[in-house]
Chains A and B, each alone.
Chain A
Amino acid sequence: MDNASTLLIEIGTEELPPKSLKRLADSFADTLAQKLMAAQLIETADQVARYAAPRRLAVSVNQVAQRQPDQQLERRGPAVKAAWDEAGAPTKATLGFARSCGVEPQDLETLSTDKGEWLTYRNLQPGKMAVDLVPTMVLEAVRQLPIDRRMRWGAGDGEFVRPVHWLVALLGSEVVDFDLFGIRSGRNSRGHRFHANHDICLADADSYLGALRDAHVVADYAERQDLIVAQAETLAKGVGGSVVLEPALLDEVTSLVEWPQAVLGNFDDEFLQVPAEALIASMGDHQKYFHLLDDEQRLLAHFITISNLDSPDSSLIVAGNQRVLRARLADAQFFWENDCKRSLRQLAAGLSAVVFQQKLGTLADKSERLTRLLKVILTAVDSELDVQLSEDAAVLCKADLLSDMVGEFPALQGMMGQYYGRADGLDDAVGEAIREHYLPRFAGDELPKTVLGAALALADRVDTLVGIFAIGAIPSGDKDPFGLRRAALGVLRIQLEFGLDLQLFPLLEEAVAGLPEALQDNALAGRVNNFVSDRYRGYAESAGYAHDEIEAVLAVKPSRLLDAQGRLQAVQQFRSNPAAASLAAANKRVANILNKSAENVTGDVDAELLVEPEEQVLYQALQVCEQAVLPIIADRDYLAVCQQLAGLREVVDGFFDAVMVMADDKQLRDNRLALLRQMRELFLQVADFSCLQG
């Protein structure tokens, strides 16, 4: 296109919130792309490049048409037959249509199709100029930005995420003239806050990136991030380590600098006595520093910070950062040493003063309930763990919440408990369980690896679920202040993925029995169980199981989740068996017949009353199948069971083709119903196949 040029929009602001910079840039670019495409000024969203730096959001769009294509308008009116009356005058319909198009009836054209002739209005609307369309689009895209809290500044009444100071809008080399928050658009951008804090005049839109680079700004977010990664990795290699670039921290740092310069600093070796997690939290959370590990994943006494400056003397920057970090690490060291003066048991004594939830008592009460539940769980899974270990784990698991370190860095809960337990000389299994009982912390997080940890994690979640349900704070809509959905998902994953194989319902009943008496309620365990089952539906669906497969399994109310999962896998596999559809249909048919039959089908099949060959064959096949199936049911080899059941297809079909179930003779009829009930019960050993759709 000859008449196409690059469009540049840059909104210059004060420093944007680093944690939402990327989201803002994406939203701005996506909305604008969508609007430009809708107006036919560009062809694809690929033409839109997005830029984001601490003080600017920008898009550059190549090949933007100067003018929209002309819009051919065609409207169809009444049929020609109904357009003119006998006298040849326009009918009411014609007059109305012509008026709505703003023309006289005789100016309307006639459109002939194979279905007849219609009056038509055709009009060529000339396309509008891009410079006229762009301002509205930009204002609209700005209005749609996902901003949690808007600010007002100066005397104007504009509201934005941060005060806006300049606005660049260029189409090719021409300024697109409009106002945003009282700022007039122009061609002046600004350079780096310290290196080039002055106007940068852009000759045209295409010169944007280069001009900014000359002014010490890397406007491209991805490019800046790549620079940071490359620089950090080079520095780390220089000291024989590797740098840990945790994605959230990396994004945050990328959003904080316009001109990244990675700098390596050191700290005193003596700090390495403090648990690495605490040092890493000090460096990452507070200072936005990256930490380094050696080949064996041990923390090195170095850090990497990304400065926003080209300094002729980087040793000044290094010294400054080291001084700040030293103070931080000294704090962490103080917390550590201070916490170590008290044993976990001493800390735990303070739990009776910390309220977990008003009606549910203190953390000490919770620990007591956990002790009880943990015992039940370990018994249920036939664990041979020392009772003393499990009691220690339950009583001490919340103790580190009272340590100074966790007070400063809440994310270290559990981890510090493990360290303090080790310092107290507790068994490693206890410390491991204290750390692991917080897992999984979020969807997709790692799971406990030890049985004690998994059991304690399960106990904690079950206690929270049952307790919070008891006080009526049940999640609704998007309100889930106690994170019960997450807790339920944890309950599922610990059973299914860790493999803690137990019956959930009795455990929930135990948990109810441990609540304060005023909160106990007969229906409570059932309600929590349903809540967890609902989460299981979602869990299984996202794992690729179909809705009807899940319902077929839940219909037989498996008492163990692992067992349910085994059935579900088998049912899904069974589906691909050619026999599945016909057996599902047969089950549906049998379920209907049994539901409708007035007689209560309770008796056993009387073999002497089987007169038709097809019912004899079915009866014998069922007997053989039962014999084959019952031992493998006990082993929960549901796949093998399904294969056996699939073998019944022909005899079941043969039965329905040849045998009249609702025979006139009551004896024969009852006997056939009994035969069908026997068949249905055999299938129900795995799942309710009548739930399967087509």
Chain B
Amino acid sequence: MSLPLWQTLPVRWVLLDRDGVINHDSSEYVRSADQWRPIDGSIEAMARLYAAGCKLAVVTNQSGIGRNYYGRSELFAMHRKMATLLARQGAQVEAVLFCPHLADADCDCRKPAAGMLHRVMNCFGFSADQAVLVGDAERDLAAAAEVDINGVRVGDAGDYPTLAEWVDRLLGITQ
């Protein structure tokens, strides 16, 4: 019987970028729950993390709202879909934070700024060394570095091709 993950690793929180990590990204933006399609294995990977004792939070840039491509209602509908899929696996995310601003809005939340990370750490009261952030872009890692959280890059340009593979590695399921 192996120990739960959070007892062997300092990691208790996994912060996830959304588009390109959990669901397929689109250059046209993901604009509705229908268009929101999880990457194969990502929901199951999140469920495995949750089952291992990790808490999950999503931190995502959604400038599509600022551009009026879609509204918050649509965005929440996407997240409901994600929550439903996770619930079927017995898992949940503690919070989804998003930044609705455009790149030139000079806000403190759009990654690579670390505003969303600060907020989620404050709200749930954990420290940087207890968390890891998984993203698919340089700005995700930059935001993580800003608050001294370890970053992991997944995707074509990343250390692991998918979230699922990183999770498998972390939990020691495959080599």
Answer yes or no: do A and B interact: yes
Interface residues, chain A, CB within 8 Å of chain B?
607-608, 610, 613-614, 616-617, 619-621, 623-624, 627-628, 647, 650-651, 653-654, 657-658
Q: What's the minimum C-beta distance from A139 to chain B, rounded to whole angstroms?
A: 71
Residue B67 at the chain A interface, CB threshold 8 Å = no
Residue B80 at the chain A interface, CB threshold 8 Å = yes
CA distance A608 to B79 in the complex (A): 15
- Which of chain A's residues has its CB closest to B73's CB? A607
Partner of A620, one of B79, B87, B109, B125: B79
Chain B residue numbers with a CB within 8 Å of A647 are 92, 94
Given A613-B109, A614-B119, A653-B123, residue A607 in contact with residue B87 (CB < 8 A): no
| Contact yes or no, A613 B76, CB < 8 A | no
Chain B residue numbers with a CB within 8 Å of A627 are 80, 83-84, 87
Residue B96 at the chain A interface, CB threshold 8 Å = yes
| Contact yes or no, A608 B119, CB < 8 A | no
| Contact yes or no, B72 A613, CB < 8 A | no
Most B-side CB within 10 Å, residue of A620, A653, A658:
A620
| Contact yes or no, B109 A623, CB < 8 A | no
Partner of A650, one of B75, B94, B116: B94
Given A608-B73, A628-B87, residue A650 in contact with residue B79 (CB < 8 A): no
Given A613-B109, A613-B116, residue A621 in contact with residue B72 (CB < 8 A): no
CA distance A608 to B75 in the complex (A): 10
Chain B residue numbers with a CB within 8 Å of A619 are 76
| Contact yes or no, A651 B123, CB < 8 A | yes
CA distance A623 to B95 in the complex (A): 11
The 30 sampled A-B contact pairs (Cβ below 8 Å) are A607-B76, A608-B71, A610-B72, A613-B119, A614-B123, A616-B72, A616-B98, A617-B96, A617-B97, A619-B76, A620-B76, A620-B80, A620-B83, A620-B96, A621-B94, A624-B80, A624-B87, A624-B92, A627-B83, A627-B87, A628-B87, A628-B92, A647-B92, A650-B94, A650-B124, A651-B94, A651-B95, A651-B123, A654-B122, A657-B123
User: What 8 pairs between A and B have smallest CB-CB spacing?
Assistant: A654-B123, A607-B73, A624-B83, A607-B72, A617-B95, A650-B124, A608-B72, A608-B71
- Which of chain A's residues has its CB closest to B95's CB? A617
Chain A residue numbers with a CB within 8 Å of B96 are 616-617, 620
CA distance A608 to B65 in the complex (A): 10
CA distance A651 to B75 in the complex (A): 19
Chain B contact residue count (CB 8 A cutoff): 23
Given A607-B71, A623-B76, residue A616 in contact with residue B83 (CB < 8 A): no
Given A616-B72, A617-B95, A627-B87, residue A650 in contact with residue B80 (CB < 8 A): no
Q: What's the minimum C-beta distance from A111 to chain B, rounded to whole angstroms?
A: 59
Q: What's the minimum C-beta distance from B162 to chain A, rounded to whole angstroms?
A: 24
CA distance A620 to B125 in the complex (A): 19
CA distance A464 to B71 in the complex (A): 62
Which chain B residues in 63-106 approach chain A with CB under 8 Å? Answer: 71-73, 75-76, 79-80, 83-84, 87, 92, 94-98
Given A607-B71, A607-B72, A623-B76, residue A616 in contact with residue B123 (CB < 8 A): no
- Which of chain A's residues has its CB closest to B119's CB? A613
- Which of chain B's residues has its CB closest to A652's CB? B123
Chain B residue numbers with a CB within 8 Å of A610 are 72
- Which of chain B's residues has its CB closest to A651's CB? B95
| Contact yes or no, B97 A613, CB < 8 A | yes
Q: What's the minimum C-beta distance from B63 to chain A, rounded to whole angstroms?
A: 15
Chain A residue numbers with a CB within 8 Å of B122 are 654, 657
- Which of chain B's residues has its CB closest to A624's CB? B83
Chain B residue numbers with a CB within 8 Å of A658 are 119
- Which of chain B's residues has its CB closest to A648's CB? B94
CA distance A608 to B92 in the complex (A): 24
| Contact yes or no, A617 B80, CB < 8 A | no
Chain B residue numbers with a CB within 8 Å of A653 are 123
Q: What's the minimum C-beta distance from A694 to chain B, rounded to whole angstroms?
A: 22
CA distance A608 to B97 in the complex (A): 15
Chain A residue numbers with a CB within 8 Å of B76 are 607, 619-620, 623
- Which of chain A's residues has its CB closest to B65's CB? A608
Chain B residue numbers with a CB within 8 Å of A613 are 97-98, 109, 116, 119
Chain A residue numbers with a CB within 8 Å of B123 are 614, 617, 650-651, 653-654, 657
Q: What's the minimum C-beta distance from A614 to chain B, rounded to whole angstroms?
A: 7
Q: What's the minimum C-beta distance from A227 to chain B, rounded to whole angstroms?
A: 60
Q: What's the minimum C-beta distance from B145 to chain A, rounded to whole angstroms?
A: 21
| Contact yes or no, B125 A650, CB < 8 A | yes
- Which of chain A's residues has its CB closest to B92's CB? A624
Q: What's the minimum C-beta distance from B34 to chain A, rounded to whole angstroms?
A: 17
| Contact yes or no, B80 A623, CB < 8 A | yes
- Which of chain A's residues has its CB closest to B83's CB? A624
Chain A residue numbers with a CB within 8 Å of B80 are 620, 623-624, 627
Chain A residue numbers with a CB within 8 Å of B84 are 627
Most A-side CB within 10 Å, residue of B72, B109, B125:
B72
Chain A residue numbers with a CB within 8 Å of B71 are 607-608
CA distance A654 to B95 in the complex (A): 11
- Which of chain A's residues has its CB closest to B57's CB? A617
Most B-side CB within 10 Å, residue of A607, A613, A617:
A613
Interface string of B95-133 (1 = CB under 8 A from A): 111100000000001000000100100111100000000
Most A-side CB within 10 Å, residue of B79, B97, B123:
B123
Q: What's the minimum C-beta distance from B12 to chain A, rounded to whole angstroms?
A: 13
| Contact yes or no, B73 A620, CB < 8 A | no
- Which of chain A's residues has its CB closest to B124's CB? A650
Q: What's the minimum C-beta distance from A652 to chain B, rounded to whole angstroms?
A: 10
CA distance A607 to B84 in the complex (A): 19
- Which of chain B's residues has its CB closest to A626's CB? B80
CA distance A83 to B153 in the complex (A): 91
Q: What's the minimum C-beta distance from B13 to chain A, rounded to whole angstroms?
A: 12
Q: What's the minimum C-beta distance from A3 to chain B, rounded to whole angstroms?
A: 70
